[in-house]
């Protein structure tokens, strides 16, 4: 049974790299989430001490210093399941910095980017919850097709039927 803890373990992507320097980002997520069950990893998208990013993030969406993901350990799947990604959206300074870092300066000419860089837009926050993933976690399902209807190819249907997984 999946254990959902009310107490969240907070860690930055750099701290996570320091804890598990020989693992890939997904392996680090798995290890920390298996250990703590409910985890918030912050500062996703920025370059870490190994000159790599924990995960790719668009330079014109969240501020890479002020964002993060909520993950839960999914017992039945033996994996770290990302339920939410959220953050403070870029402002004039963070957009400028992140466009430079990512080599996307051509975007400065786009309407949204121009307006933000000129201080014409307010600061915002955002995020979302993966409702189907959350349902999978709470119910203990092993395939997203158990909680949301879709069209599945024959190989997926056969594999699920073989394992007793009922697709909607």
Count Cβ atoms within 10 A of the Cβ of residue 124 and give its class: 0-12 exposed, 13-18 middle, 19 or more buried: exposed
Residue 154 pLDDT:
97
Count of beta carbons in the 10 Å neighbourhood of residue 59: 24
Write out residues in the chain with pLDDT < 70, as ranges: 1
Mean residue pLDDT of the chain comes to: 95
pLDDT value for 1: 67
Q: Which CATH number fits domain 9-129: 1.10.240.10, 3.30.930.10, 3.40.50.970, 3.60.21.10?
A: 3.30.930.10
Torsions phi, psi of 72, nearest 5? -125, 150
Pairing status of strand 38-42 against strand 62-74: antiparallel
Domain residues of the chain, as ranges?
Answer: 9-129, 130-168
Report how far apart, in Å, the C-alpha atoms of 68 and of each of 27, 36, 42, 152 are: 17, 16, 4, 31
């Amino acid at each position: 049974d999946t254990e959902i803890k009310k107490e969240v373990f907070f860690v930055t992507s750099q701290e996570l790299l320091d804890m598990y320097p020989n693992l890939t980002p997904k392996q680090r997520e798995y290890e920390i989430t298996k250990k703590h069950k409910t985890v918030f990893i912050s500062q996703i998208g920025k370059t870490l001490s190994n000159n790599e990013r924990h995960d790719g993030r668009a330079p014109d969406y969240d501020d890479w210093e002020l964002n993060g993901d909520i993950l839960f350990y999914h017992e039945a799947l033996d994996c770290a399941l990302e339920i939410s990604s959220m953050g403070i959206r870029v402002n004039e300074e963070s957009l400028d910095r992140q466009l430079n870092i990512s080599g996307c300066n051509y975007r400065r000419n786009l309407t949204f980017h121009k307006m933000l860089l000129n201080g014409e837009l307010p600061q915002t926050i955002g995020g979302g919850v993966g409702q189907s993933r959350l349902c999978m976690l709470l119910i203990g399902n092993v395939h997203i097709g158990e909680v949301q209807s879709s069209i599945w190819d024959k190989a997926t249907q056969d594999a699920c039927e073989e394992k007793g997984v009922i697709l909607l």
